[in-house]
Amino acid sequence: MKKLVTLSAVIACLVSFAHAHTALMSCMENADGMIGCEAGYSDGSSATGIALKVVQNGKVILESKFDQNSEASFQKPQGEYTVIFDGGDGHALSIPSRSILK
């Protein structure tokens, strides 16, 4: 019985690791002054409908959602800012403006 309980616990752990996924996001500055971001998860899951926020000086200056292609775009703010992918449940990412590809 003890072996069965141990085996069940090991299987439960392996199943939880098999379903784990990591949030991914990249952002790029376009020539037209727009910032384009793509997001998703390491298991191939879409980011459709997931929140995107732009924060500047501690204040949210833009709230949006990723579209059906897991993409979002916005006009580049002046000064420093941070783009946040808020996938919930431990799946949040942030990219400071200085790290956005040009």
Which region holds residue 51: left if phi is over 0, alpha if psi is between -120 and 50, else beta?
A: beta
Q: Give residue 88's pLDDT band: very low, low, confident or very high (50, 70, 90).
A: confident
pLDDT digits (tens, 9 = 90+) for 47-65: 999 999 999 999 999 999 9
Q: Which residue has the higher pLDDT, 9 or 98?
A: 98
Class of domain 22-99: mainly beta
Distance CA 64, CA 79 (A): 20
pLDDT computed for residue 77 by the predictor = 97
- 66: closest CA among 43, 40, 88, 89? 40
Distance CA 102, CA 90 (A): 28
pLDDT computed for residue 20 by the predictor = 60
Burial environment of residue 33 by CB neighbours within 10 A (0 to 12, 13 to 18, 19 or more): exposed
pLDDT digits (tens, 9 = 90+) for 14-24: 333 444 678 99
75 has pLDDT over 80: yes
Torsion angles phi and psi, residue 44, rounded to 5: 90, 0
The full set of domain ranges for the chain reads 22-99
Interval 19-39 mean pLDDT? 91
